[in-house]
Structure 1
Amino acid sequence: MENSKLKLLVKAGVGGISLLGVGLLTLRQFQEKLIYIPTFGGMPKSPLQNQIGDRTPKDMNLDYENVSTVTKDNVKLKGWLIKQKDHMNKPTVVFFHENAGNIGLRLYYFSKYYKHAGVNILIFAYRGYSDSDDVPIDEHGLQKDSLAIIEFAFRSGKINTDNVFFHGRSLGGAVLTYGLTHSIEKNPNGIILENTFTSLDDMVDVVFKPLSIFKRLILKNHWPTINLISKVQVPVLFVKSNKDELVPASQMQQLYDKCHSANKYLYQIENGNHNDNWTVDVQDYFKHVHEFIHKYSHL
């Protein structure tokens, strides 16, 4: 009897290990689907299929032109250059977007940015997002996208390259930081990092804590911004939401603490969450953004 029980336990153990192995392999194989989300909640992939107001900057009465660039691995990225009047004499913010949704869903935010900060906005959709080439999305691909976007900003001749700022939110902060620390182009006047994680390895400890012990086996995407931030020497505005429900505010604090820039600033939004922090106090949010850009603009 005891021998039979032992055999059953062994079989159960082997079966459990097998299921765990299959589960880990599945997470490793399909993790990009969990991290990068071009569509969600029934929203379309292309902004042109959004409802009126979220399709193009024209919906917000913003002057713009469609722009495109090609990465080193021949992926075409598409986006918009939203232009102020006399735009060559205005600063330009190159915006690196978050991990979910098409770029049209950010138009209301861009309209407020345009109005309150008085800047041009250059926004490209990453590969697999919006109307950019529909190819698989992974960390290495987005790194190439980052470099291509920065190259376009400084070589297209469409903006004043003496007054360029980068702004990355959430995943966009990781994409931005990689590009900034690996590009051969000139540096921007300054960067804004907002609600950005230290690394995806650290985020596993937050979102999938039971799998933390397996993360070295599972993760193919790492985004180790915490290891790159010390290389950033340009002025940096860190925007931290103290009630961020996705990325712990402590991770933004770590990035700020480890940054070696001689000109770094921490703007904390006490009641801000991950996505809508700027709506807590629109005037105060863009006051900090505008003052930072104005301080380091060469106009």
Structure 2
Amino acid sequence: MSLSIMNLINEASPHFHGNASTTKIMGAVCLALVPTLIAATVLYGLAAPLLVLVCISTALVSEHLCCIAMHRESTAGDMSCVVTAMLFAFTLPANCPFWVAVLGTAFAIVVVKMLFGGIGCNIFNPAVAARVFIMVALPSALSAYPDVAGKPLDAITGATPLAMASAGDMPYSYLDLLLGNHAGALGETCIITLLIGYIFLLAVRVVDAWATLPFIGAVALISAFAGQDVVYQLLSGGLAMGAFFMATDYTTTPMNPVGKIIFGLCCGIITGLIRFFASSPEGVAFSILFMNMFVPLIDRITRPLPAGGVKNALI
């Protein structure tokens, strides 16, 4: 059967487009983070949503001003900067000074995202990079975390479960860790709400589990090898938020399943090594940031060959 030349498509791919858009995808991520925001509000009071609001406002203004300076149409409305702001806010304690939140958010948007060209062009995950920036530049801002159980935020501060575990003390039950009944950052306390949000993103096919499961599995194996309580380690710190929401970022993680598996495994290995064999009790942010650098190489190594194609050298 002959095909009319008029039916041929003579233009660059993609030839067919889905209904998904950046705004819809980022809106779904924001919606998935709402349960954790509600849990943080219950645990820490109004300081939690206020901190998130400060970060979101800073992100919107920073991205809009960057677009003006770059003589580009504003991209602040695509919701990507809101996702970055919420994720960064979730790495902070509820008693974090607002000026620190503003500084970290501005760093994430201006330096890590917009200077590289905006969404889709940044090498590093902006929220993770901002967390590491604050950890290095202003460690005192992350040195004390408010306790819960209705106590005033400035009345008592406690160490996080991971910090206590590294000192040989594990006073929290698994249920405490699941419900967030302990000191910690906004997004590393209530594991149940993080899981609910992640399952929602899986259900609407915004994310997949190719990087998440190897990430968590590698941490579990190293925890067992190091003689640690595996369940305690998996439910503590920023592992859940990092594996569910940061290791699934479209821009800063590999594109195909094999690459994502390699990325997740390496993140988990580095996280475990830092937790048990370094001076820091937490390693999620450092592991993700470190592996972000190797995403182009991983993509090149794991790129599927077209039919009849010839594999090129890595360099």
Q: TM (normalized to structure 1)?
A: 0.30
Greater share of residues in strand: 1
Q: TM (normalized to structure 2)?
A: 0.29
